[in-house]
Structure 1
């Protein structure tokens, strides 16, 4: 994840740039970040996880969305504008949907690391999602074939709920009973 522009801009200017830009652009407190194009492995992992989440959420009140889908993080006590494009987003509160994006706090977010965006996803977004109250944050590392699941505790801080590398089942705290076998998302590579 790299800065698209070196100087802060207004959210209005951000949306004007988005109209003509081909890049995936995120907006965090005036700064515009550009996501790299996803690799083939990234896309395969995303698709496999999407299918598993979608299957699990059938007949439930939550929905899963895949990138590119804008999420404008909004919470009463939080200032600034943050528009992110998570790889996968699970949303259970349907009141925040607009024609263009979701405005509010998703319940679960999945980010799949790329070599160029690791710090952004591991530090910036982890803290951003925790501060806004995203209940669960999955970080998928295709380079290590690992998944780390962070869940909010009673103090509204992320704790590591589960971590697996290579093999085993990774579980969700938020979606009780949801387990993904790593071999099913990392195989064929």
Structure 2
């Protein structure tokens, strides 16, 4: 993940650039960030996670969306425009859907790290999602076969709910009963 332009632009300029680009571009308060294309392992891990989430969500009111799908984070207490493309978003409040994107705050977001985007997902996005009130944030590290689950506490701060490396079962705090075996997520 790196800055696409060294200066601040408007959200309208961002959408003009996006129309002319095949790159995965995100917009955070005037700055455009470009993501690397996902690796083969990234895609396999993403597909495994999606399959597990979809099976669990069957018959439930939440919906899964995967990249590339725009999320425009909105919170009345926070100014600025943030348009992000999480690897996986689970959304239970359907009131924010538009034809082009979701405007609001997903309940759960998953980001799969790439060697080039680690600090963006581990620092920038963690703080962004926490401040907007994303209830649960999963950081998946396919280089280490690790999943870390952060959940908002009563003080609206993230605390680690679960973490597993290579083996074991990872759980969700907000999706009661969700349990994924890491062997089904990380290809051997």
TM over 0.5: yes
Q: Deviations over 1:123-146 (max 9, x none)?
A: 000000000000000000001000
For 1:164 and 1:58, the matched residues in 2 are separated by: 25
Instruction: State yes or no: 1:134 paired with 2:99.
Output: no
Matched residue SS, 1:162: strand
Gaps of 5+ in 1: none
For residue 103 of structure 1, report the CA deviation from its aligned partner. Answer: 0.1
Q: Deviations over 1:62-103 (max 9, x none)?
A: 001110000000011010000000000000000000010000
TM-score when normalising by structure 2: 0.99
Q: Which ranges of 4 or more aligned residues in structure 1 deviate by more than 3 Å?
A: none
For 1:187 and 1:98, the matched residues in 2 are separated by: 35
> What is the alpha-carbon root mean square deviation over aligned residues?
0.5
For 1:185 and 1:110, the matched residues in 2 are separated by: 13
For 1:3 and 1:187, the matched residues in 2 are separated by: 31
Q: Where do 1:35-114 residues align within 5 Å?
A: 35-114=35-114
Q: Deviations over 1:21-64 (max 9, x none)?
A: 01000000000000000000000000110111011001000001
For residue 12 of structure 1, report the CA deviation from its aligned partner. Answer: 0.3
Paired residues in the alignment total: 188
Match of 1:16 in 2: 16
TM-score when normalising by structure 1: 0.99
For 2:37 and 2:119, the matched residues in 1 are separated by: 17
